[in-house]
Structure 1
């Protein structure tokens, strides 16, 4: 577990909600929750690439632009960031606490 925490610190930058809001509009915003959760409500401007499909669909994310990831609690988006780091992605950011703590703008279908 300690090794995973150290790898995570090197792979992704954890951001508080104000820090996340400051930069996500200039980046690729990816929600890794499942489609039903995404449709129930997501951060305005986010794309849904569920963690269950992430290994097949990660190429939809451009490696030359910053990537802002989030999920419900933060665990799956952190693992997605580790996966992207292994694939050569550089600028990876993660919403600390996940969507459950989000108080910013939300879109629902």
Structure 2
């Protein structure tokens, strides 16, 4: 298992390229505006949508799926950073979110 970088949500820079690997229903409830959404199980089939020259900050709900995605991406030549605590921590820090519904963005 390769080493990879993990950072808290407070260390994600403004304008960072975010890859959200949660499921569709989680994304629809609330996500980071401008993030790219590729559920973890679709990542191998959709990896060509990612720019190998771009650093990706990978996020999920709590950090488990994003950790697996980060390891996989690093093993395939991408630069990926796991976001510790995931969207739960993002919400707790009061970072901005949007939703695909009329409701207030939330983390499921």
Q: TM-score range by the shorter chain?
A: 0.7 to 0.9
Residues 7-22 of structure 1 aligned to structure 2 (within 5 Å): 7=2, 10-11=3-4, 13-20=5-12, 22=13
Q: Is 2:24 the partner of 1:35? A: yes
Aligned counterparts of 1:29 and 1:101: Cα–Cα separation in 2:
15
CA deviation string 1:10-43 (max 9, x = no partner): 22x11112211x25x1x42110001111011001
Which is helix-richer, 1 or 2?
1
1:54 to 33, 40, 43: 43
Structure 1: 5+ residue runs without aligned partners?
A: none
Q: Is 2:93 the partner of 1:105? A: no
Aligned counterparts of 1:28 and 1:81: Cα–Cα separation in 2:
13
Displaced runs of 4 or more, over 4 A: none
Q: Is 2:34 the partner of 1:45? A: yes
Relative to the length of structure 2, the TM-score reads 0.82
Pairwise CA RMSD: 1.3
CA contact (8 A) 2:9 2:86 kept: no
Aligned counterparts of 1:95 and 1:81: Cα–Cα separation in 2:
9
Aligned counterparts of 2:25 and 2:41: Cα–Cα separation in 1:
13
